[in-house]
Amino acid sequence: MRIAKKLFLFLVLIFFFSCEEQGLFVDFCDCTLEEPLKTNLEIKLDINYWGPSTLIKVYVGNLEDGVLYNSYNAHTSPTIIPDSVSVNKKYTVTATYFKPPDYYIAVDSATPRVRYVKCNVPCYFVYDRVIDLRLKYTK
């Protein structure tokens, strides 16, 4: 019986931590009454450590496909990509950092999705639109 309780607790913890990016906890300030077809990507960067700006490139689909959507110079973190992207479509984003004499490139991807939430009024919430391009390791 003790093993069953531990297993149940473990499964509940996995559910709560794995569903965060799917919009399990909705911030109703970000809700809209109409279903959005486009959204903005939010990018987390290492701006302060690596210099005044970072080159951001947004690709449609996988990086290997080479379909460049747009490129930007980011000066703050987090930064919002100024062009809206379509929901339910995969985007891969790269950030190029320069620490003399080397360049470092961070890569991450996201597929923004919409979730319908019914509260006092129906609302649509976009999730999985945050991309983390902070470096984990350098020489």
pLDDT tens-digit map of 51-79:
677 899 999 999 999 999 999 988 888 88
Q: Beta partners for 39?
A: 85
For residue 36, give the amino acid letter.
P
What is the C-alpha to C-alpha distance for residues 102 and 139, in angstroms, rounded to an integer?
A: 9
For residue 20, give the amino acid letter.
E
Beta strands in the chain (DSSP E): 38-39, 42-44, 54-60, 68-74, 79-80, 85-86, 91-99, 102-110, 113-118, 122-127, 130-132
How far, in whole angstroms, is CA 31 from its chain's centroid?
17
The count of other CB atoms within 10 Å of the CB of residue 48 is 9
Residues 6 or more apart whose CB falls under 8 angstroms from that of 84 comprise: 38, 39, 40
Sole residue written with tokens 């319908």: 116
State residue 21's pLDDT score.
Answer: 43
Question: Do the beta carbons of residue 36 and residue 124 sit within 8 Å?
Answer: yes
Q: Give average pLDDT by consecutive 10-residue segment, the chain, 139 residues.
A: 69 51 51 86 80 86 94 87 90 89 90 84 86 80
Q: Which tokens in the block code for residue 42? A: 């939010």
Q: Give the helix/strand (H/E) hosting 12.
A: helix 2-18
